[in-house]
């Protein structure tokens, strides 16, 4: 027997074999069970989600000889087997793309008034119905509105917007949704087990994503991958077949960005280009990585820490500023849309990477700059950036000691520093600590409560609770221990902060600078002359204080 492709061999023959589309299946099953049958059904959705398959199953439900009108056709009677084989005389399947003329439609409808030959109902299944001409729709309208009781119309289309509203109003509409990668992956694993195919989980996941919501596309890609891999589904071979990018490349790009390493960034892109990849797919993979980073930073409980690059992503999550990660995601998303407009795909991809590098957050004047710290300064490839952390800009190169609460005459050179006695001193201490990333952000949004023995207590408001996690607290405790010269632990209390935090102070100073800049513009005589002469208007949101 000749080989039958997976998309045909595994086409569902009953409602319970369908993948997804539960909202449609429930409505159809209830209607069949209760005898509430409509004369015209319209199935819409993207390619490969089951529109025609669902119509054929519905045809079996209406004409099953063993069970009558039912939502569980037997699949064994003559009607069911002939419908599966595509030779049931009372199921008239029409491809509207090849029969668009009004003459074709009139010829089709000439036999509507005659009773079915074999089945209970005569069923007209019109695929890609949006391809019919305007005259064909006009010829169909009257019959579609009031067909004989023995006739059912099943229409399928990928573009319902092109159907006249007069047709839409005469049909019971069902919109089939694109399938989630997880649904497709589970079905592919089931098929692989049934077919005895050796399939790697990573290869199945990659095929599920590449199918873009279409079960038929997933099965076609699986057939292609089996041919490419000699009957096995191996992730490396599937990746080569699809032109996908190794995850290691994507993580390396993010690490280069974190280190502000422009030459290294372009060198990594050059090595990627040697494999002639699809750069649009590369940006899609990068977006998936940034999504995982965002989860690790804001909702760590749902972060998938089992992947091959999960450990490196977890390290990046602590190193990169959460706001910058969100910006990187937006830049990659916009870059993917603009990639077809680039002179060539590689140049477009490189510009997206350079744009990410150009928008690296630069610490503003003040401690912590409201928690925006950017990449770890120590990892920077540029010496000028390595000394421009928020702490260095706020306090200068000399790290001050916290003021002692004991008389100066009792102090020795080896005595450990003591805790700050006032909020302003905590601001200076938070800026002087050797911190970066989320640990610096946590210190900047906290207020000093006190120290008892080896325990330091800080307070943070409810709005910044997401900054509090064990890893970040451990880094802050390590920095404070180095400052005080003895091991200390850190306890973070969540509640209303009584005084101004370093981050709030930085925001206040920035607002004051912005107000001064606006006042300077408003009082500038040149601006006044432009207003008087050209009726010009100052866009206050565009005014920025000079660095």
Q: What is the dihedral of CA 493, 499, 505, 511, to 10 degrees?
A: 120
Helix (H) or strand (E) holding 521: helix 502-523
Residue 125 lies in a domain: yes
Residue 223 lies in a domain: yes
Residue 486 lies in a domain: no
Q: How confident is the model at residue 404 (pLDDT cuts 50, 70, 90)?
A: very low
- Decide: 175 and 139 in contact? Cβ < 8 Å: no
Residue 187 lies in a domain: yes
- Mean pLDDT check: name the lowest of 154-168, 215-229, 244-258: 244-258
Assign residue 275 the CATH number of its domain: 1.20.272.10
Burial of 218 (0-12, 13-18, 19+ CB in 10 A): buried
- pLDDT value of position 64: 93
- Decide: 100 and 131 in contact? Cβ < 8 Å: yes
Tokens at residue 244, please?
């996908």
- pLDDT value of position 439: 87
Q: How confident is the model at residue 35 (pLDDT cuts 50, 70, 90)?
A: confident
- Decide: 328 and 228 in contact? Cβ < 8 Å: no
One domain for residues 217 and 273: no
- Decide: 139 and 111 in contact? Cβ < 8 Å: no
Helix (H) or strand (E) holding 151: strand 151-157
Q: Rounded distance, CA 50 to CA 156, Å?
A: 10
- State the residue for tokens 């910044």: 464
Mean of the pLDDT values across residues 34-51?
92
Q: What is the overall mean pLDDT for the chain?
A: 83
One domain for residues 191 and 231: yes
List C-alpha distances in Å: 209 to 8, 114, 177, 214, 503: 21, 47, 15, 10, 41
Neighbours of 501 (CB within 10 A): 28
The model carries a pTM of 0.58
- pLDDT value of position 419: 56
Write the pLDDT tens digit of every residue in 47-89. 999 999 999 999 999 999 988 999 999 989 999 999 998 899 9
Mean of the pLDDT values across residues 327-343?
92
Higher pLDDT, 178 or 394: 178
Helix (H) or strand (E) holding 316: helix 310-319
One domain for residues 24 and 169: yes
Residue 436 lies in a domain: no
Mean of the pLDDT values across residues 460-467?
87
- Decide: 249 and 257 in contact? Cβ < 8 Å: no
CA end-to-end span of the chain:
77
Q: Which residues contact 7 (CB under 8 A, 6 or more apart)?
A: 216, 219, 220, 223
Higher pLDDT, 309 or 6: 6
Residue 484 in this model has a pLDDT that exceeds 90: no
Phi and psi, residue 111, nearest 5°: -100, 10
Residue 420 in this model has a pLDDT that exceeds 70: no
Residue 69 lies in a domain: yes
Write the pLDDT tens digit of every residue in 365-387. 444 443 444 444 333 334 333 33
- Strand blocks (E) in 35-113: 40-44, 91-95
One domain for residues 138 and 223: no
- pLDDT value of position 408: 38
Mean of the pLDDT values across residues 284-294?
89
User: 198 is in which domain, residue-wise?
Assistant: 181-242
Q: What is the dihedral of CA 350, 352, 356, 357, to 10 degrees?
A: 20
Residue 93, strand partner residues: 125
Mean of the pLDDT values across residues 33-37?
89
One domain for residues 146 and 56: yes
Q: How confident is the model at residue 418 (pLDDT cuts 50, 70, 90)?
A: low
- Decide: 465 and 503 in contact? Cβ < 8 Å: no
Q: Rounded distance, CA 277 to CA 118, Å?
A: 55
One domain for residues 149 and 110: yes
Residue 2 in this model has a pLDDT that exceeds 90: no
Q: Rounded distance, CA 52 to CA 55, Å?
A: 5
One domain for residues 90 and 209: no
Residue 454 lies in a domain: no
Q: Which residues contact 65 (CB under 8 A, 6 or more apart)?
A: 74, 77, 78, 79, 80
Where a domain ends, among 242, 260, 282?
242
Helix (H) or strand (E) holding 489: strand 489-494
Total domains in the chain come to: 3
Mean of the pLDDT values across residues 523-529?
84
One domain for residues 114 and 70: yes
Higher pLDDT, 301 or 444: 444
One domain for residues 58 and 171: yes
Instruction: Select from 440, 435, 416 the least CA-distant residue to 488.
Output: 416
Residue 409 lies in a domain: no
Mean of the pLDDT values across residues 448-472?
88
One domain for residues 266 and 235: no
Tokens at residue 499, please?
């005084």
């Amino acid at each position: 027997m000749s080989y039958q492709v997976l998309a045909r061999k595994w086409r569902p023959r009953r409602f319970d074999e369908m993948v997804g589309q539960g909202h449609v299946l429930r409505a159809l099953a209830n209607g069949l069970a209760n005898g509430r049958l409509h004369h015209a059904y319209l199935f819409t959705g993207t390619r490969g989600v089951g529109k025609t398959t669902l119509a054929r199953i519905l045809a079996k439900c209406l004409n099953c000889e063993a069970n009558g009108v039912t939502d569980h056709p037997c699949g064994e009677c003559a009607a069911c087997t002939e419908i599966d084989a595509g030779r049931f005389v009372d199921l008239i399947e029409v491809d509207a793309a090849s029969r668009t003329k009004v003459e074709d439609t009139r010829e089709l409808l000439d036999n509507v008034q005659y009773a079915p030959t074999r089945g209970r109902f005569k069923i007209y299944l019109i695929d890609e119905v949006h391809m019919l001409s305007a005259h064909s729709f006009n010829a169909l309208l009257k019959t579609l509105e009031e067909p004989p009781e023995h006739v059912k119309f099943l229409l399928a289309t990928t573009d319902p917007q092109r159907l006249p509203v007069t047709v839409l109003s005469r049909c019971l509409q069902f919109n089939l949704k694109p399938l989630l990668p997880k649904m497709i992956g589970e079905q592919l694993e089931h098929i692989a087990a049934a077919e005895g195919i050796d399939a790697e989980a990573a290869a199945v996941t990659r095929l599920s994503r590449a199918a873009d919501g279409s079960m038929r596309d997933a099965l076609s890609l699986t057939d292609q991958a089996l041919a490419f891999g000699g009957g096995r589904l191996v992730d490396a071979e599937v990746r080569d077949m699809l032109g996908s990018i190794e995850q290691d490349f994507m993580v390396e790009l993010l690490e280069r960005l974190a280190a502000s390493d422009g030459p290294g960034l372009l060198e990594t892109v050059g090595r990627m280009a040697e494999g002639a990849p699809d750069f649009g797919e590369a940006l899609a993979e990068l977006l998936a990585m940034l999504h995982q980073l965002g989860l690790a930073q804001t909702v760590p409980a749902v972060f998938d820490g089992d992947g091959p690059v999960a450990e490196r992503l977890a390290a990046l999550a602590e190193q990169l500023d959460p706001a910058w990660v969100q910006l990187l995601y937006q830049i990659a998303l916009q870059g993917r849309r603009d990639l077809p407009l680039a002179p060539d795909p590689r140049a477009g991809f490189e510009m997206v990477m350079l744009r990410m590098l150009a928008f690296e957050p630069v610490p503003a004047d003040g401690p912590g700059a409201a928690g925006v710290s950017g990449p770890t300064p120590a990892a920077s490839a540029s010496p000028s950036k390595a000394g421009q952390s928020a702490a260095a800009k706020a306090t200068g190169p000399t790290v001050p000691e916290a003021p002692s609460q004991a008389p100066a005459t009792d102090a020795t050179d080896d005595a450990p520093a003591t805790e700050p006695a006032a909020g302003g001193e905590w601001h200076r201490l938070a800026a002087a600590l050797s911190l970066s990333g989320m640990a610096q952000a946590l210190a900047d949004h906290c207020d000093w409560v006190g120290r008892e023995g080896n325990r330091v207590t800080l307070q943070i408001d409810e709005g910044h609770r997401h900054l509090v996690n064990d890893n970040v607290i451990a880094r802050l405790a390590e920095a404070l221990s180095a400052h005080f010269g003895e091991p200390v632990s850190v306890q973070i209390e969540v509640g209303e902060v009584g005084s101004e935090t370093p981050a709030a102070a930085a925001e206040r100073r920035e607002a004051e600078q912005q107000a001064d800049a606006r006042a300077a513009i408003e009082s500038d005589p040149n601006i006044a002359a432009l207003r008087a002469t050209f009726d010009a208007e100052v866009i206050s949101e565009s005014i920025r204080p000079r660095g």
